[in-house]
Amino acid sequence: MPEGDTIHRAAVNLAAALVGRTIVRSDFRVPRLATSDIAGEPVDEVLSVGKHLLMRCGRWTIHSHAGMDGLWHILRPGERAPVAVHTIRVVLEAEGADGSRVQVVGSSLPVLELLPRERDGEAVAHLGPDLLSPSWSDADAAEAARRLRATGAPVGVALLDQTAMAGVGNVYRGELCFLRGVHPATPIDRVEVEPLVALARRLLVANRDRTERTFTGDARRGRRTWVYGRGGQPCLRCGTRIRDAQLGLEDGMLRQVQWCPRCQPEP
């Protein structure tokens, strides 16, 4: 599931493939961008901000959000993206000074925008401090803690609020609650928020360069998470059966969340 670490890694890989090259073909497959063409624009920078990705190309910025299933694919000449054609939202081909070419494909992207570069900050202005920001500071940590408290929501809801702290998704939410020993329904004002923010930052940094993230230190399949995706299975710490339920969000959406009833007592 794409979360802050996944998008960070995508940005690093896309930057390595594209920066310094020039777009020679662009094919946007969403209605509002169907006639857009950025051929001739240089690729200057690719960066992540929380779960958002910004690809800065000359006068323009391609802004995307991966949602639940979005992916970016880097392809060699003649290679096809390993996804159904109808899921492709954008195809970009770029050429280097030596004439070599690379193609990237964005698939299943629920958000895809082409913005004037001078205004691309507006796309991410609503976000809280980015946990994977290279300039992360004590001030960012304090602001994230303040914003989490201000949500007034259960901790399992507050952690998914990107306006409080950017980069945490459903996987990290469940694992953070387990590692801090708090039930997801615990009111945020009953949680030690500062250690939670510090742990979120530490976990995202630890996983940002891994192809398969792990929260347990064990890279084996089925052993990488403490609770996420393990509903009905024994807790790796105490053996109690992991519970699985839905927790509501302010946007009306429900997200599955898992917890250990012994390690994370109900509030």
The phi, psi pair for 11, rounded to 5°, reads -65, -45
The pLDDT assigned to 14 comes to: 98
Write down the pTM of the prediction.
Answer: 0.92
Cα separation, 178 vs 225, in Å, equals: 10
In percent, the amount of the chain with pLDDT more than 90 equals: 90
Say how many C-beta atoms besides its own lie within 10 A of residue 241's C-beta: 14
Higher pLDDT, 219 or 25: 25
Cα separation, 118 vs 130, in Å, equals: 20
DSSP label at 200? Answer: H
Report whether 83 contacts 9 (CB < 8 A): no
Half-sphere exposure of 187 (CA within 13 A, CB side): 4
Q: Quick one: pLDDT band at residue 251, thresholds 50, 70, 90?
A: very low
Residue 239 has pLDDT above 70, yes or no: yes
Q: Quick one: pLDDT band at residue 255, thresholds 50, 70, 90?
A: confident
Nearest to 56 by CA among 72, 43, 66: 43
**In sequence order, what are the residues at sequence separation of 6 or more whose Cβ sits closer than 8 angstroms to the Cβ of residue 92?**
18, 23, 25, 26, 27, 62, 103, 104, 105
Q: Quick one: pLDDT band at residue 253, thresholds 50, 70, 90?
A: low
Say how many C-beta atoms besides its own lie within 10 A of residue 55's C-beta: 28
Report whether 90 contacts 26 (CB < 8 A): yes
pLDDT, tens only, 173-228: 999 999 999 999 999 999 999 999 999 999 999 999 998 899 999 989 889 999 99
pLDDT, tens only, 137-184: 999 999 999 999 999 999 999 999 999 999 999 999 999 999 999 999
Q: How far is CA 59 from the centre of its chain?
A: 25
The two structure tokens encoding residue 142: 């304090």
Alpha helices in 99-192 (DSSP H): 138-151, 155-158, 170-179
Q: What are the residue numbers of the active site?
A: 2-3, 51
Residue 249 has pLDDT above 70, yes or no: no
